[in-house]
Amino acid sequence: MRPRIGLDARMVDIIETGLGRYARELARRLPALRPEWDFIVIKRPRLARVQLGEGPNVRETLLPGFLDHPRNLLAGPQLNRLGLDLYHALHHFLPLGLRVPRVVVTLHDLIWQEHARLTFDTPHSWLKWRLTHLYGCATMRHVLAGAHHIIAISRHTARRAQARYRWPAERMSVVHHGADHMPVNRTRDHADDSGEAYLFSLGNSKPYKNLRGLLRAFALVAPRHPGLRLKIAGRGDSYHRLQVFADRLRINAQVDFCGMVSNDELRRMLSGARALVFPSLIEGFGFPLVEAMALGCPVITSDIPIAREVAGDAAVFADPLRPDAIAAAIERVLKDARLRIRLRQVGLLRAQDFAWVDSAEQTAGVYGRLLASRGEGSIGLPGRTESDDT
């Protein structure tokens, strides 16, 4: 009897996000790695004409709602009818009434639980973040009650889950995200930068991304570099407020809010930047760090555990709470051509540690042990667990 695996990829949307990218990559790669298993990819109706999974052992089904939306709490009966042997929620939310013998949940972060104040910078933020916090705490308790195994996307996220919820290490694996390894313009390893001088930042505009801190830092740097620009790309719920803030700092003429960009445009912008500046206060993983390193773009980022875990020695780190420290890091990278070359070279090597095929293989390993366990619950699993890294 062929095992039937359900991949809940409802975080994939028309506009790609980090959560969607992760779901797309697993849906594309896992069926090829395990042709002896059948995969049912669960996606939103608006993606009915978009093929996520690939291969003869893939079937796709439609189910409305994002995984983190309250309506997902009612999706249990519909999922039960799929006759799954294993269900994998690719975001850390589970519906009520789910009756599947083996349940895997990917834990991306605990921002809603531990840093809810940093999730909104829009009208009525005080109410939104309080409701988000309550919803996040309640749904996480349900996840922990219903999951046989949790895949954490970083050691930092695993540590936080174990510290906050006492989740046993033997029921958690750390599986990093991957990156696309594209051909890189290696002439930049041997000569100084040419073309437009700009810094690049990527991510949504939520407060935990610390774009206000970045703008303050750029305001300190800009007077000494009149031709330098700052380009900020990503989803922008708070971009209007940030534009007003940049105007107040008198740097609006040197700052471009680019909004969402295509993957090709993103690669072009990263490849041409003097550096990626990624000053987040908290992250679950930090996709832009790996994407920048894989393209030979120097990285300036926050001195926080997750950035250290991902970037290693391939970045310049700064205290994200001090704009002057971020500005000093930017100045250091702009002025030191040898440092930029070293960051590119070390970053390219570091990025090789993050490959989607490895992510898929480690995820399949989790499935394999759970399937072999006959749904017996707490079991040790192969691959990188928290205890392996301490």
Q: What is the DSSP letter of 49?
A: T
| Residue 341 and residue 377 in one domain | no
Residue 211 sits in the same domain as residue 122: no
273 and 144 both lie in a single domain: no
In a shared domain, residues 114 and 212: no
| pLDDT higher than threshold 60 for residue 183 | no
**pLDDT given at position 262:** 86
- pTM (global) more than 0.75: yes
Residue 155 shares a structural domain with residue 13 = yes
Shared domain for 216 and 71, answered yes or no, is: no
Query: Which CATH number goes with the domain that contains 335?
Result: 3.40.50.2000
Contact 227, 130 (CB under 8 A): no
Pairing between β-strand 275-278 and β-strand 299-302 as defined by DSSP bridges:
parallel
Residue 337, pLDDT > 50, answer yes
Looking at the chain, the whole-number percentage of residues with pLDDT higher than 70 is 91
Provide the 3-class DSSP secondary structure of residue 378: coil
Structural domain tally of the chain? 2
Same domain, 191 and 337: yes
Judged against a pLDDT cut of 60, whether residue 93 lies above it is answered with yes
Angle of helix 356-372 versus helix 18-33 axis, rounded to 10 = 60
SS (H, E, C) 165-199: HCCCHHHEEECCCCECCCCCCHHHHCCCCCCCCEE
Q: Give the C-alpha separation, 37 to 52, whole Å.
A: 17
In terms of domains, do 26 and 161 share one?
A: yes
Under the phi-then-psi rule, with left for phi > 0, alpha for psi from -120 to 50, and beta for the rest, what region is 377?
A: left
231-241 per-position pLDDT tens digit: 999 876 667 88
Please report the sign of the dihedral spanned by the C-alpha atoms of residue 107, residue 157, residue 284, residue 69: positive
* Average pLDDT of the residues in 180-187: 56
In this structure, the answer to whether residues 166 and 274 fall within a common structural domain is no
Q: Which residue range(s) make up the domain with 19?
A: 4-178+355-389
On whether the CB atoms of residues 179 and 351 are closer than 8 A, the answer is yes
Q: Look-up: residue for tokens 């007003």?
A: 244
CA dist., res. 282 & res. 361, Å (int)? 28
Residues 41 and 126 grouped into a single domain = yes
Say if residue 346 is in the same domain as residue 369. Answer: no
pLDDT tens for 39-80 read 999 999 999 999 999 899 999 999 999 999 999 999 999 999
pLDDT band of residue 194 (cuts 50, 70, 90) is low
User: Can you read off the two tokens belonging to residue 4?
Assistant: 């039937």
Q: Are residues 15 and 154 in the same domain?
A: yes
User: Quick check: 371 and 102 in contact, CB under 8 A?
Assistant: yes
Strand partners, 202: 233
d(CA 168, CA 158): 10
Torsion sign (Cα): 192, 182, 11, 387: negative
Q: Is the model's pLDDT at 149 over the cut of 90?
A: yes
Q: How does 41-64 read in b/e, with b if 16+ C-beta sit within 10 Å?
A: bbbbeebeeeebbeeebbebeebe
